[in-house]
Amino acid sequence: MRAHPALSEERRPPAQLVAYGGCRAGSTRKAGTRGGSPHTRHKNCRTRPTAPRNIPQRQRSVGQDRRTGRNSTTREPTIHEHELPEPEATRRASGNAESSRANRGWWDRNADEYQVDHGTFLGDDRFVWGPEGLDEVEAELLGPAEELKGLDVLEIGAGAAQCSRWLAAQGARPVALDLSHRQLQHARRIDDQRSGAPLPLVQADAGALPFADGSFDLACSAYGALPFVADPVLVLREVRRVLRPGGRFVFSVTHPMRWAFPDEPGPEGLSVSASYFDRTPYVEQDEQGHAVYVEHHRTVGDRVRDVVAGGFRLVDLVEPQWPEWNTQEWGGWSPLRGGLIPGTAIFVCARDDRG
């Protein structure tokens, strides 16, 4: 029986260990403020989001979802208001350091409102891949639930660690990692209100994972990290490094084709307004020109090449259909758009150990 993954003694920068060992990703912004870019502030998901992982704009969930998480406590946090000037939305280059700094600040400021708005949909212990509501219970993208027992799993862009909590319930040994300290505080708050041991939580950048080589059997990210980083191959290589031979990494992001459409849930969101091939990052910046939120676009082909360059094989690419039961709107995600164009892309990857 393996112990919890050890912290690497190599070149990794120090990470803030919120809780580890003993000691898992769509947002809240007004829809339509970003033109053609697809605000993924989903979460969790993640990285996001939106799902989802790591999604979005000061939106509210609309409609009653019959698949909300059981015993959800994520609608209880106190919202800490941050009176900041409305940022300017633009398209410009943004590197690794600026993107990381901006998005960590954004999620720290908006985590409370995000959990209030979307906590019921995400639940406390539900593994949702995106705003469509695709559940790992049904999808089994990480493998059959009964085969997860005893596996070490890393969730990247975990948010309040809903996915990690579901993994723990299956007998896995998850570690929930997020860039945002405030999101991980929500994870700890939920754990404190539940019975059982708290989850291992780690605050760190996905591009510099503070774990030894070969620490995990699986990794997952629901809208976490990858939509927000300037160098996705760096993240993929880090994930491959910490996976054991044959390990699987499954991650969801906003479907790349959404970049060409306005971030609107209604009919106005069905007309192309920008080039799908324009990879210039979407940036929100303050009056001094400092980025306060950054999102990066990759085409489908880019994502596939990134996966290969990161040392993985692409096993499957899942594009969830919008289900009839899901009547909510989440930013630019809605039953209308979801019935016509894909909103989420899920990449199922396996570590490529061929010589």
CA-wise closest residue to 240 among 136, 313, 158: 313
Quote the pLDDT of residue 269.
96
- CA-derived radius of gyration, the chain: 18
Quote the pLDDT of residue 218.
98
Q: What is the 3-state secondary structure (H, E, C) of the chain?
A: CCCCCCCCCCCCCCCEEEECCCCCCCCECCCCCCCCCCCCCCCCCECCCCCCECCCECCCCCCCCCCCCCCCCCCCCCCCCCCCCCCEEEECCCCHHHHHHHHHHHHHHHHHHHHHHHHHHHCCCCCECCCCCCEHHHHCCCCCHHHCCCCEEEEECCCCCHHHHHHHHCCCEEEEEECCHHHHHHHHHHHHCCCCCCCCEEECCCCCCCCCCCCEEEEEEECCCHHHCCCHHHHHHHHHHHEEEEEEEEEEEECHHHHHCCCCCCHHHHCCCCCCCCCCCEEEECCCCCEEEEECCCCHHHHHHHHHHCCEEEEEEECCCCCCCCCCCECCECHHHHCCCCCEEEEEEEECCCC
Quote the pLDDT of residue 309.
98
Tokens 């939305």 sit at which residue? Answer: 89
Residue 25 has pLDDT above 80, yes or no: no
Q: Residue 349: beta bridge partners? A: 249, 314
pLDDT band at 2 (very low <50, low <70, confident <90, very high): very low
d(CA 162, CA 36): 30
Residue 81 has pLDDT above 70, yes or no: no
Quote the pLDDT of residue 27.
38
**Segment 261-287, tens digit of pLDDT:** 999 999 999 999 999 999 999 999 999
Tokens standing for residue 308: 């290969």
Which amino acid makes up residue 152? D
Q: Which CATH topology does 24-351 take? A: Rossmann fold (3.40.50)
Q: Are the C-beta atoms of residues 96 and 230 closer than 8 Å to each other?
A: yes
Quote the pLDDT of residue 196.
84
Quote the pLDDT of residue 89.
96
Quote the pLDDT of residue 355.
67
Residue 14 has pLDDT above 70, yes or no: no
Residue 19 has pLDDT above 60, yes or no: no
Residue 53 has pLDDT above 90, yes or no: no
CA-wise closest residue to 161 among 238, 251, 76, 74: 74
φ, ψ of residue 14 in degrees (nearest 5)? -65, 135
Quote the pLDDT of residue 120.
87
Q: Could you tell me the sign of the dihedral formed by the alpha carbons of 252, 256, 257, 260, in that order?
A: positive
pLDDT band at 96 (very low <50, low <70, confident <90, very high): very high
**Segment 169-205, tens digit of pLDDT:** 999 999 999 999 999 999 999 999 998 889 999 999 9
Query: What mean pLDDT do residues 204-230 have?
Result: 97
Query: What mean pLDDT do residues 61-80 have?
Result: 43
Greatest mean pLDDT among 66-70, 114-118, 290-294 lies in 290-294
**Segment 314-325, tens digit of pLDDT:** 999 999 999 999
In the chain, % of residues over pLDDT 70: 76
Tokens standing for residue 82: 């941050």
**In the chain, domain spans:** 24-351
Query: What mean pLDDT do residues 105-127 have?
Result: 93
Residue 76 has pLDDT above 80, yes or no: no
Quote the pLDDT of residue 65.
36
Length of the chain: 355
In the chain, % of residues over pLDDT 90: 72
Q: At what angle do helices 181-192 and 162-169 cross, to 10 degrees?
A: 40
Quote the pLDDT of residue 354.
87
pLDDT band at 82 (very low <50, low <70, confident <90, very high): low
CA-wise closest residue to 280 among 299, 303, 306, 263: 299
